[in-house]
Amino acid sequence: MDCKVKWTGDGMSFIAETGTNHTVVMDGAIEAGGRNLAPRPMELMLAGAGGCAAFDVVLILKKGRHAVKGVEVSLQAERADVEPRVFTRIHFHFRVTGKQLKSEAVARAIELSKDKYCSATSMLEKTAEITHDFEIIED
């Protein structure tokens, strides 16, 4: 996997170009010299963890032939007070929409993501307590 991150030369804005030729803009807070025009790098890390987990849950439920129609995950994170300001706690709240989804199947998909498949949460759990809960919305 490759990625190139380049400072734009303006404030604290950076452009990342991924190995798959996608770009992501990052910026800093105003108090850090940024202009608050794009997500912070740590926000993208949190979003990546949410995306990784949601991807797994959808894939696992689809492979199990469950009638999943939507997956949304909200994340709340806490960071250390001192540098490096790593994540110390991350809570994932999944909202899974579908037809006649069983609670056990959704719980199993989330557990499999957390314990086996999601590379992002596997790395983040080295510094953060990771918790999750879910709700099922009947479609």
Q: How confident is the model over 16-31, as pLDDT tens digits? A: 999 999 999 999 999 9
Among residues 16, 106, 30, 26, the alpha carbon closest in space to that of 69 is found at 106
The reported pLDDT for the residue numbered 121 is 96
Where in the chain are the domains?
3-32, 41-138
Q: What is the average pLDDT across 73-81?
A: 98
The reported pLDDT for the residue numbered 68 is 98
- Confidence label for 98 from pLDDT (cuts 50, 70 and 90): very high
The reported pLDDT for the residue numbered 101 is 98
CATH homologous superfamily of 41-138 equals K homology (KH) domain (3.30.300.20)
The reported pLDDT for the residue numbered 19 is 97
Q: How far apart are CA 136 and CA 70, in angstroms?
A: 10
Percent of all residues in the chain with a pLDDT value above 70, rounded to a whole number = 100
The reported pLDDT for the residue numbered 95 is 98
